Structure 1
Amino acid sequence: MQAGTFVGNLASAIGITTEEAALVCALQAGNEEAFGILIAQYHQPLYSLIARSLTDPADAPDVTQEVFIKVFRSIRGFHGESSLRTWLYRIALHEASNQRRWWSRHKRQELTIDSSGESAESDDDGVPLAATLPDRRDSPFDCAAQAEVRERVETALRELPEAFRTVVVLREIEGFSYEEIAEILNVNIGTVKSRLTRGRSALRALLVAAEKDSASSTASAPSKLESGHYPETVTR
């Protein structure tokens, strides 16, 4: 009992839970079931983080796979200086950064003439960013509208400078504390807060500007009734 208490206290002191410490031990022993648990628990959040961090989200599956390969190879070097989650996110951001550098050197040259950007729009008016991304409503119309808003916010996020985007995603979407973000990025808390403030401001400016552009284009476009094109349901 005393040994168990000691392990629990030690795990708590270094920022990981006893359950997580047991998982780390199993991973370091090469237990395949433990890796299955790790992948099941972290695949989706890491994939989402990576997709939001890349220039081309289509590369996210490959980068996510590379992250878990790196975790498999490096887990024996994990000594609990941080939580396992923090360590995983640090690796994911590092791999995403590597992919962005590769993309800037190579894949950008492969873009076709059909490639185009998309405008962003948001009803962001004091609503937390994370609240615009999940889709929890049941109405088909609401689901479609929420999906559209989510896509526009995601597009606006990708227009932010990398340093700002990373902090906004980690704080507003992933829910990390300032201290955890500082640890992941290896910067001080003041830098995290500064980047978050500037990132939020830049994101809001992008969304407001895009909303004005969207409203302007909608106002200038003739309606179907004005142009003589009637919905099928009207003609019946």
Structure 2
Amino acid sequence: MHRLCILLFTSLLACGRSSSQQQSPAQATFDTTGYYQYKDATRDGTGKLYMGREIAQVMGHLGASWLERPEREREERTDLLLKALNLKPTDVVTDIGAGTGFFTFLLAPKVSKGQVLAVDIQPEMIEYLNAGKTKHKTANVQPVLGTESDPKLPAGSIDLAILIDAYHEFSYPREMMQHIAKALKPDGRIVLVEYRAEDPNVPIKELHKLSVTQATKEMKAVGLRLLKNDDRLPQQHIMFFGH
């Protein structure tokens, strides 16, 4: 059943992807940063490369049911993830790529005297988040509409940024991480939760996995270092980065 869900999920990736997000080799002339390269896209990729990694296709709002599936907590052990974060009640946390807010509304009670900034680039997901805020009566959740290259977070404002199965889909990973790094407080942490590319038994498409080695290389490019890698989850890394 789990493998069937994974196949359905990867089909939804294509359905939820807008044409404006797809990039071709011809568009390389418009990228003056020098950070990215382009090639013919693979089945699950965009054809855009960053530090040797092809950026994966993005899940759209049509995949909302996958994010809210009843078995998600059991499969991904979100209870263990929450414990690993070691949050304080006063923390300001940002959930980058918050989607429907599945994890946002688990975070909110843990930072009851703080705040959760729930960032997504799709207006449809912001609508889900606002509806969830009302449903869960979580006044400390603030949905934020970001862009593909900027999460729209104030500098020096957050204690922790968490990115759950999101970073590998960023169209502009370098720019996004530069902005997120600037948004951290001096002792702030960035947490990447990604399916383990090192484990062939994890039943996820290869472009939707990320290794510790690749993640560390990409974070180093924006001035971040690996603080620790926590492997308590069944299929995903919990990678902590900081200045």
TM-score range with shorter-chain normalisation? Answer: under 0.3
TM-score (normalizing by structure 1): 0.27
The structure, 1 or 2, with the larger RCO (C-alpha pairs under 8 Å, 6+ apart) is 1
- In proportion to residue count, which structure has more helix? 1
**Greater fraction of residues in strand:** 2
Q: Which has the larger radius of gyration?
A: 1
